[in-house]
Amino acid sequence: MRCFLIAANPADFEIHLFHEGTFYKSYQLFGAHMIHENGVMGTRFCVWAPHAQEVRVVGSFNDWNGANHKLTKISDQGVWMLFVPENLEGHLYKYEIVTRNGQVLLKADPYAFYSEVRPNTASIIYNLAGYEWNDRAWQRKKKQKSVYHQPLFIYEVHLGSWKKKEDGRFYTYEELADELIPYVLEHGFTHIELLPVVEHPYDRSWGYQGTGYYSATSRYGTPHDFMAFIDRCHQAGIGVIFDWVPGHFCKDEHGLYMFDGEPTYEYTNMQDRENPVWGTANFDLGKPEVRSFLISNALFWMEYFHIDGFRVDAVANMLYWPNSDALHKNPYAISFLQKLNETVFAHDPTILMIAEDSTDWPKVTAPTYEGGIGFNYKWNMGWMNDILTYMKANPNERKSLHHKVTFSLLYAYSENFILPFSHDEVVHGKKSLLNKMPGDYWQKFAQLRLLYGYLATHPGKKLLFMGGEFGQFDEWKDLEQLDWMLFDFDMHQKMNAYVKALLKFYKRQKSLYELDHSRDGFEWIDVNNAEQSIFSFVRKGKTDSDLLVVICNFTDAVYHNYKVGVPLLTKYKEALNSDDERFGGSGQVNKKEIAAVAEPFHGKPYHISLTIPPFGITILRPMRKRGERSKHAEKEVRRHAARRGKR
């Protein structure tokens, strides 16, 4: 059991660090905590309200009358505190704030650990201690392997609409653990990425407009229930990534907005503060107390909930000042993000810090000591937009868009990239991935299989939004569950079988992930065949034995005896073909071994001839001779023995 000790009274240095912007465990000071003071078990309330004239706590324990529960101002810069000599765990509460102009506001606690189920908005006094974690094996495993050289294929999930009960109610965290974890394991995903689960008032914001940054949403259960969900993910070998929004927040009246009647968490200047399109307010990232609040929040989810990573939303909206036609850099945001990344990596070097950044800002994933922003991954939005533009085009017109496929390899190693097919691409009239594909019913499925194959073989880690794994035909309907009835249809079953086979194959092939971030891991064979819209390339691992030849055909033409240059004079075996009949394809596969010929082609010393399927991806693996295979196996045995000897 993890035990978090809260001192009865805050130390002066904690208050100083908070106002300095460097108190990164501010959640142990602020909020409502059960503590012992002078031998008495009680509840301590602490809140930052720098412009308030008076602060009272009201709740179910005092009939919502704060006359006898006034907080004392213990800091000239607006920290207020009250100790109530009662254990108030489970009670509802809010802060009653009297502004400088005499207005009375009722505000939820910014540091509340638990909140009422919407539409109610009160905070709930909750003790986070006491959960028994059982994920030591997972934590140990994370420290032993570098994520950069491991497979990473993320399943992006919105918990409220992945699956619902017959009466429309949400599944609980416990029920989701029972259903979602086996499903993710069966498909072979390595991580789950959760759309924001901080408390938020409006279902259709999907959590991106939060009010309770320290509250796991009560829609699905208690904070301990959410801990148990993550714990069970870890026990199953699945990492959990938290979609996190440190740039802007919800403007509902009970939340952070104008917390004490004046700009507190947000910028003072209206042009910098407001996001008219989203209806949110931007955090003032230059304000020290806001930095303490946000960086503490990241550490909070890591420490209390064992989160494995953060996908940081709307980074572009932070790096550049909003509401400006010109791209003016925001120095406060830059330094905030750098300090955030430095702090979380100091706390846990294995953490995933993923920037959702749509700009070409340099060195987003470079260390801060090299002048970078300090993330270790960035979504490759350019690749995603280019490849979807290419796929949505009529196949006969793709020859004029050839550069949309090749361009990504010019910058693929400028950052550590994740290739995302996320929720943003299958909502608001954009159509599902399947329905983006042109052509008839069969052609749509064939091209989606091809697209997924290209995703799996392109350098970079991977992300797929829920429903894509079985070919959801309609775009994401955020108020309904996924269209699970599609599993009654043969082509959707076969699409799902293909995704499972593809992920299984991906995780077994070191050449598809070991050198994702190195030019040594990729080599074009034929990059210039725009006329036929066929691309071929080699993916490589750290050793010469880890090598794959990949051929993608983005038209419906079938080719027999098609020549492709190869790097090795050996026999090749077809390891995966998206046109296999078991996946819903037409069966244009290469069943027999394919022998390389000692004749140059495509700039390679040898070549092979094979069948190229329509709208298909073909992946070939060189076959080792028996002696070479034994030598390799012997080398692996020696390597593992040496590793055991070092322990």
List, by residue number, the catalytic residues: 313, 356
CA distance 84 to 91: 13
Contact residues for 337 (Cβ-Cβ < 8 A; gap 6+): 312, 315, 318, 319, 373, 374, 375
- Helices 223-235 and 288-305 cross at an angle (nearest 10°) of 60
Report which DSSP code applies to 294.
H
Secondary structure, 3-state, 81-134: EEEECCCCCCCEEEEEEECCCCCEEEECCCCCCCECCCCCCCEECCCCCCCCCC
Instruction: For residue 38, give Cα distances in angstroms to 30, 41, 42, 127.
Output: 20, 9, 10, 20
CA distance 495 to 388: 19
Burial (0-12, 13-18, 19+ Cβ within 10 Å), 138: buried
Token pair 């499903």 is found at 183
CA distance 184 to 311: 19
- Asked if residue 211 lies in contact with residue 249, where contact means CB atoms within 8 angstroms, the answer is yes
Cis peptide before 110 (omega within 30 of 0): no
Tell which residue, 561, 558, 511, has the closest CA to residue 534.
Answer: 558
Residue type (1 letter), 505: F
Instruction: For residue 188, give Cα distances in angstroms to 54, 121, 500, 503, 505.
Output: 55, 39, 6, 6, 10
Torsion sign across C-alpha atoms 585, 586, 592, 595: negative
Tell which residue, 383, 386, 390, 381, has the closest CA to residue 437.
Answer: 390
> Which residues, in sequence order, are bridge partners of residue 385?
none
- Asked if residue 179 lies in contact with residue 163, where contact means CB atoms within 8 angstroms, the answer is yes
| The pair of three-digit structure tokens given for residue 390, joined into one six-digit string | 């290419």
Q: Counting every residue, how long is the chain?
A: 647
Secondary structure, 3-state, 390-419: HHHCCHHHHHHHCHHHHCHHHHCCCCCEEE
Exposure string for 101-120, b = 16+ CB within 10 A, e = fewer: eeeebebbbbbbbbbbeeee
Contact residues for 381 (Cβ-Cβ < 8 A; gap 6+): 356, 357, 358, 420
